[in-house]
Structure 1
Amino acid sequence: MKTLFIINPVAGRKRSAKVWKDIRPYINFPYEYEFTQGCGDATQIAKHAKKLGYEVIVTVGGDGTISEVVNGIAGSDIRLGIIPAGTGNDFGKTLKIPENPCYALEIIKEGKNLTFTDLGKFQDGYFINIAGAGFDAEVANMTNSNLKFLNGTLAYVASLVWNLARYSPCNAVITVDGKKYFRKPWLVLAANARYFGGGMMINPDGIINDGLLDVCIINDMSRAEILRFLPSVFTGSHKKHRCFEVIRGKNVEIEFAKPVRVQVDGDAKGFTPVRFSIVNRALSVITPVKD
């Protein structure tokens, strides 16, 4: 099996470089490897690997690295392997890939179980986890821009608290498969997977290959109630809250009364209005359990 490892040496606050050094002696099959040098490199490396006939690409990095690689191989027959080495590793959580890199490598060595996952579509690219607009996009933007000295969940929570004092929900029109919903939400998410923000299980009932986006909406509530609501997101128990709802569909449009920030897989991507869609079973991933 022609295999390429793509390593993002700065992922996980440079943890991935150490992970690669630790696992490399245990790779007992033929392989090649390449390090990324900057943003977008993993996509270009993956596209080139596709042309060269690689059958398996293994990412050593975080969700950002996976997302870039996926944008280079989506819709092809290439199998994706994942060695979690980022700050959040949310995509791997949905697929039950062990966070221990050595255990994850053993799953890739076996290579017998494949899960065919959906991908979200945004403009001319794909997303693996969750995209959305509103409060969470402001939090993600601040986390990535100003809090790089903090790790994963801690950075996300710090940004969340800061933005909570400054952000206010406004009216929005959410269109799912042609049907309009009028809401005043804190945020609207188009979810493919279950987790985001470094372990927050925002979409606990999500199925990653059902051909649908789960539109998760946190409707208007007080700031005090938001603070009580947020801890429940880590366990998924928030789904019972009166201000949380999920609408499922294939095509989603989000427009707020005034433009609000958009995030795609945790990266800022401009402002609303925005459209998302789903591509069914567009990616094959080596996982612990067969699809």
Structure 2
Amino acid sequence: MNPKSGTTTPVQKNKITNLLAKHKNCKLFFTEYRGHATEIAQQAVAEGIERVIAVGGDGTVNEVAKGLIGSKTALGIVPIGSGNGLARHLKIPLTIEKAVNFVLSQQTGVIDVCFLNEIPFFCTAGVGFDAHVANEFAQQSSRGLKTYAKMSLKSFRTYKPESYHLESACINEVKNAFSITFANATQYGNNALISPKSKIDDGLIEMVVLKPFPFGAAPIIGVRLFRGTLPNSRYIETESDSLFTLKAQENLLVHYDGEPLQLDTNELKITLKPKALLIIGHV
């Protein structure tokens, strides 16, 4: 558990601690620094532990999952973050008691793992407006959908689309884009369905290009995002493949599973390892 994660209160976190204490085969660890969750997960793999449960938001889930790729140890999630993208895609309950019971009792499945250069991601990654907002959101003292919506609106007024050179098996062209998302799962989090037809175990990455659009179209695009009808928009282009490359004019600000990162390169290579992660959830 990340004791500083998400929007959950100390009372709720104590509730999780007490619930897990009732199960004699469970041991709870608190993360102390960035990357600690990956180290704990790797140690669990070395010890032959069957399940490692990430208690936290998408950042904690990503850190734990990194340490489990290619192993026989399954990832479970008790979602207490602000977005909970992977948990929502896997239909994990969002209430604490139900989530704990779910991850301790459900059978396992396997999902694909995607990589942005060498960085694993499990839901979405990308560049453009979404990366810009993720970077702004990470600097806020409060979390949650309300704060994210506020930062999105503020950023929308000043953000300018950029040009990217994209390559895959089917495309080789420059696109002017508001944002480009590479999706393994259907959503960013909070049921914002950027790629509603994505399947997390099909061996494919969906690239979603949001083209520049007039200010007046923003509310309609927002509604489509949450209704799962975004692919029907004339401002959306999609492409499915297992390998994409992207090149920009300047070094890239990216996001992966909600985490922003400034790269020291202007090039991306998006790849996939099929069925490389054992998970507890509905694939």
Deviation of 1:165 after TM superposition, in Å, equals: 1.2
**Matching of residue 133 in structure 1 with residue 127 in structure 2:** yes
Written as runs of structure 1 = structure 2, the 5 A alignment for 1:30-41 is 30-41=25-36
Secondary structure at 2:29 match in 1? strand
User: Is contact 2:163–2:248 with CA below 8 Å preserved after alignment?
Assistant: yes
User: Is contact 2:88–2:189 with CA below 8 Å preserved after alignment?
Assistant: no
- Give the match for residue 253 of structure 1: 245
- CA deviations 1:90-125 (Å, max 9, x no partner) are 1111111110121112222323x2221111112333
Written as runs of structure 1 = structure 2, the 5 A alignment for 1:143-154 is 143-145=137-139, 147-149=140-142, 151-154=143-146
Query: Gaps spanning 5+ residues in structure 2: where?
Result: none
User: Is contact 2:127–2:252 with CA below 8 Å preserved after alignment?
Assistant: yes
Deviation of 1:140 after TM superposition, in Å, equals: 0.5
Q: Distance in 1 between matches of 2:170 and 2:261?
A: 24
User: Is contact 2:126–2:180 with CA below 8 Å preserved after alignment?
Assistant: yes
- Give the match for residue 285 of structure 1: 279
Q: Distance in 1 between matches of 2:170 and 2:43?
A: 38
Relative to structure 1, the CA distance from residue 216 to residue 74 in structure 2 (aligned partners, 3 Å threshold; closer, same or farther) is: same
Relative to structure 1, the CA distance from residue 210 to residue 220 in structure 2 (aligned partners, 3 Å threshold; closer, same or farther) is: same
- Give the match for residue 92 of structure 1: 87
- CA deviations 1:4-24 (Å, max 9, x no partner) are xxx1111114x1754442134
Deviation of 1:260 after TM superposition, in Å, equals: 4.3
Deviation of 1:219 after TM superposition, in Å, equals: 0.9
Deviation of 1:68 after TM superposition, in Å, equals: 0.1
- Give the match for residue 186 of structure 1: 178
What is the alpha-carbon root mean square deviation over aligned residues?
1.8
- CA deviations 1:270-289 (Å, max 9, x no partner) are 243211111111111112x4
User: Is contact 1:16–1:85 with CA below 8 Å preserved after alignment?
Assistant: no
- Give the match for residue 267 of structure 2: 273
TM-score between the two structures when normalised by the length of structure 2: 0.92
Amino acid aligned to 2:234: R
| Mean CA deviation greater in 46-55 or 207-216 | 46-55
Secondary structure at 1:43 match in 2? helix
TM-score between the two structures when normalised by the length of structure 1: 0.89
- Give the match for residue 55 of structure 1: 50
Q: Distance in 2 between matches of 1:65 and 1:18?
A: 20
Q: Distance in 2 between matches of 1:140 and 1:52?
A: 36
User: Is contact 1:176–1:253 with CA below 8 Å preserved after alignment?
Assistant: yes
Amino acid aligned to 1:209: D
User: What is the aligned-residue identity percentage?
Assistant: 26
User: Is contact 1:90–1:199 with CA below 8 Å preserved after alignment?
Assistant: yes
Secondary structure at 1:75 match in 2? coil
**Matching of residue 163 in structure 1 with residue 158 in structure 2:** no
- CA deviations 1:201-226 (Å, max 9, x no partner) are 11111100001111011012112222
Amino acid aligned to 1:205: K
Q: 1:101 aligns with which of 96, 101, 118?
A: 96
Secondary structure at 1:12 match in 2? coil
User: Is contact 2:45–2:72 with CA below 8 Å preserved after alignment?
Assistant: no
**Matching of residue 119 in structure 1 with residue 113 in structure 2:** yes
Deviation of 1:182 after TM superposition, in Å, equals: 2.9
